[in-house]
Structure 1
Amino acid sequence: MASQARDVSSALSDRKGNRRGWCAITLCGFGFAFGVAAFIPHYKWISFALIVITGLLSKALSGPYWSIPGLIFPPGVAGGARGIINGLGNLGGFIGPLLVGWLTTLTGTTSAGIYALAAILVFGGLLCRLLPDATASDVSRKTS
């Protein structure tokens, strides 16, 4: 089901040519669903459904997201840009758990860390809206 979510978002992103829009929608939706799931832990089935939605949105993000460097950078640089993005993502894989652990120690609850991660995801989605215009429309369709 996760690969189908990726395929659907990739197909819609290709059809509309709006990579930054699809990235913003999936990141904001991911953050919102993740935050709400942590906010309502007593409604276990609703929280579980929201966690499933976060997984689907996480996979739906990958297609449009990894096509963006090829739209922004020239072919000789796009591969290196993807490598830098991947390296920064690995750094985030260290900083995210560190942040959650620090906030859990500070507040005594894991909810603060989850809310922080949700806020970072929503902020990332809003930040996607600032990407260059080349990521908002299919330039090749306009020139051909």
Structure 2
Amino acid sequence: MTAIVARHGPRYAPQVHEVTGFVVDVDDGPRVWISGDTVMFPGLAARLTELRRERPVDLAVAHCGAVGFPHALGFRHARFTFDAAEAIAACRLLDAKTILPIHRSGWAHFQQPETDLRSAFAAAGLEERARFLELGATLTL
């Protein structure tokens, strides 16, 4: 397991870099990228590109929801996790075989409805790769 860069919100947010994503490499097995609570930024895009070159990613676990706090002074338009467009961009950089969007519904701070997320993946042509698990469901690698 390797920790990789992540950024939980805009540059000006306190403790913005105190989060990580992870890559899980199993010898002779799957490679899994877990985004963690992050937004897209140049350092992450560069690292995802490197990951793709090193070894294909079998599963991308993308934290979505476009988390935001529209009533918080100074953060009204800020996001703290991927929106659909960023999740799609990250998964394309990785060319992930399977995509598991998580962290997508159930909390008041999610600013992008799951229906929009599903529609965006379909519109991007990634519908066949994306798996939207319901509570209690399992994905076998």
> The TM-score by the shorter chain falls in which range?
0.3 to 0.5
In the superposition, the TM-score normalised over structure 1's length comes to: 0.32
If each structure's strand is expressed as a fraction of its own residues, which one has the higher value? 2
More helix, by proportion:
1
Length-normalised TM-score, structure 2: 0.33
| Structure possessing the higher radius of gyration over alpha carbons | 1
Q: Which has the higher contact order (CA 8 A, sep 6+)?
A: 1
